Amino acid sequence: LEGTTTPEQIIAAMREIVENDRVLTADEADRRGFLVDPLGKHLGRPACLVEPISTLEVSAVAKRLSVAGIPIVPMGGNTGLAGGAVIPDRAAVMISMRRMDGIEPIPSGASSVAVDSGCILANLQMAARAADRLFPLSLTAEGSCQIGGTIATNAGGINALRYGTMRDLVLGLEVVLADGRILDMMRSLRKDNAGYDLKHLFIGSGGTLGIVTRAVLRLFPKVTRSATAMVAIRDAACSLRLLADMREMFGERLTSCELIDRASLALVLRHDSAARSPFADPPAFVVLLQLDGNDADAGLETDLEEFLATKLECGLCDDAVVAQSSSQSEALWHLRHALGHVLRHAGLRFSHDISVPVEAQADYVEEVVRSIARSWPEAIVRIYGHLGDGNLHTIICFPDRKPSDDPSGSIRRQVDDVIDGIVMAFGGSVTAEHGIGSSYIGRLVATRSSDELNAMRAIKTALDPDDVMNPGKIFAL
Ligand code: LAC
Ligand code: ZN
């Protein structure tokens, strides 16, 4: 391959390693929808898309491409929101992990499971459930996102409050490096201080350091008792007091605590025909609470009702509903998950996936609303997300403009500056769970010190000196 650039030659070289029908031309990949991300952004044209079925194939492909300096773009379920699978301008090969989707059998009482990285998250959740265990990572895209992608992005989701992000759920990892070397770190140890814990470099690396091929993931006791409530609240400060009181009262049984503001809920109710609000008057905020326990928690629902009754009495909450059945619980959660698809009706919009310290969230919300109103009185601020984790999705919407109405990106830059300024003043992060990908490189540079960025670059250079692993993500070179 040395010196070659034509897609035909790259395809021929790939077909020497994997079977013909697992090497797709760019046209085939495009026809099958593999090249458009969930934001509708076209990822670009790879020379081809390869679908390996084993770690050895991934390794052989990587080795062949890296000696020729041809970029490798790993593809999971294509559900990422930060442009993490954008194809670089040079001839590149996309490696789809979708055919490597095995799950090892889960013996009863197992505390971990080995999976292939192309395994779809919902399939792993189901396999765990069938073995009376729980794999707790849960997010809106769980029906199509893949384990490898959730590792590469260190996904968070709705249960991170209790179970942590993907980083907290990975015990072992197998990774193929740019030059094809295989790092087999498939250990299932809870404690392991033998040298640097290399797996953590790859978790959250956005595919820039290597391709995750397999993982050992933690399993937990299954949930047998649950209670779900939606609470109407007048301001963000009250929602933080409710969160603190809930944690005090229910401890680790509090699995999720999600916030949705009035404008976000209104958008769901307007555009999702299955959505029903439990409240007659739209509250300023709603908080969605999920408690999970086991057989010792038979009274969970009653306990939650009694707890919320006292919060209504003292005026912390204005209204509350506790789901009386699993279908009512699903209906409440539907309001939260529907946000993923109704935002496209919000006109020109700029999404920020920020985090600030948990206690700072009310001040953050107030500051964002005030600053945006000052600069753009016509804008609608929508804030929703993972209150328990200090991770609020902040969407600045211009309802009277079309998504294409900012061609030069000048409004985007101004909005970013305002939000980033507020986030940094609170000691926060400009991306809490979606990652930097190719979309937020400038904002990484703007918000981290050059020493921190250089340390990141040094790691990248050590593991991928020729910049073939997912180039153009995290760093602009
Ligand atoms: C959510 C995704 C966007 O929480 O992170 O809905
Ligand atoms: Zn989120």
Tens digit of each residue's pLDDT (9 = 90 or more) over 191-230: 999 999 999 999 999 999 999 999 999 999 999 999 999 9
Instruction: Write the residue with the smallest CA distance to atom 3 of ligand 1.
Output: 340
Instruction: Write the residue with the smallest CA distance to atom 4 of ligand 1.
Output: 385
CA of 333 to the centre of ligand 1 (A): 13
Q: What is the mean pLDDT of residues 155-175?
A: 98
Q: Are 283 and 342 in contact, with CB atoms under 8 Å apart?
A: no
For the CA of 157, the nearest atom of ligand 1: 4
pLDDT of residue 1 exceeding 90: no
Which three-class secondary structure state does DSSP give residue 181?
coil
Q: Which of 431, 433, 440 to mutate to test the pocket of ligand 1 (most atoms within 8 A of CB)?
A: 433
Q: Considering the chain, what is the average pLDDT of its residues?
A: 97
Tokens read off for 421: 């300024």
Q: What pLDDT score does 102 carry?
A: 98
The full 3-state SS of 89-122, as one line of letters, equals CCCCEEEECCCCCCECCCCCCCCEEEEECCCEHH
In tens, the pLDDT along 230-239 reads: 999 999 999 9
Instruction: Write the residue with the smallest CA distance to atom 5 of ligand 1.
Output: 157
Which three-class secondary structure state does DSSP give residue 407?
coil
The pLDDT-based confidence of 319 (bands split at 50, 70, 90) is very high
Q: What pLDDT score does 5 carry?
A: 77
Tokens read off for 240: 């933080």
Pocket lined around ligand 1, Cβ cut-off 6 Å:
140, 339-340, 385, 393, 433
For the CA of 386, the nearest atom of ligand 1: 4
Q: What pLDDT score does 289 carry?
A: 98
- In terms of DSSP bridges, do strands 133-134 and 254-261 run parallel, antiparallel, or are they unpaired? unpaired
In tens, the pLDDT along 337-375 reads: 999 999 999 999 999 999 999 999 999 999 999 999 999
Q: What pLDDT score does 4 carry?
A: 59
Q: What pLDDT score does 476 carry?
A: 84
In tens, the pLDDT along 272-284 reads: 999 999 999 999 9
Stated pTM of the model? 0.97
Q: Shortest CA distance to 97 belongs to which of 67, 65, 75, 124? A: 75
- In terms of DSSP bridges, do strands 48-50 and 93-96 run parallel, antiparallel, or are they unpaired? parallel
If one counts every other C-beta atom within 10 angstroms of the C-beta of residue 404, the result is 7
In tens, the pLDDT along 423-452 reads: 999 999 999 999 999 999 999 999 999 999
pLDDT of residue 3 exceeding 70: no
In tens, the pLDDT along 85-96 reads: 999 999 999 999
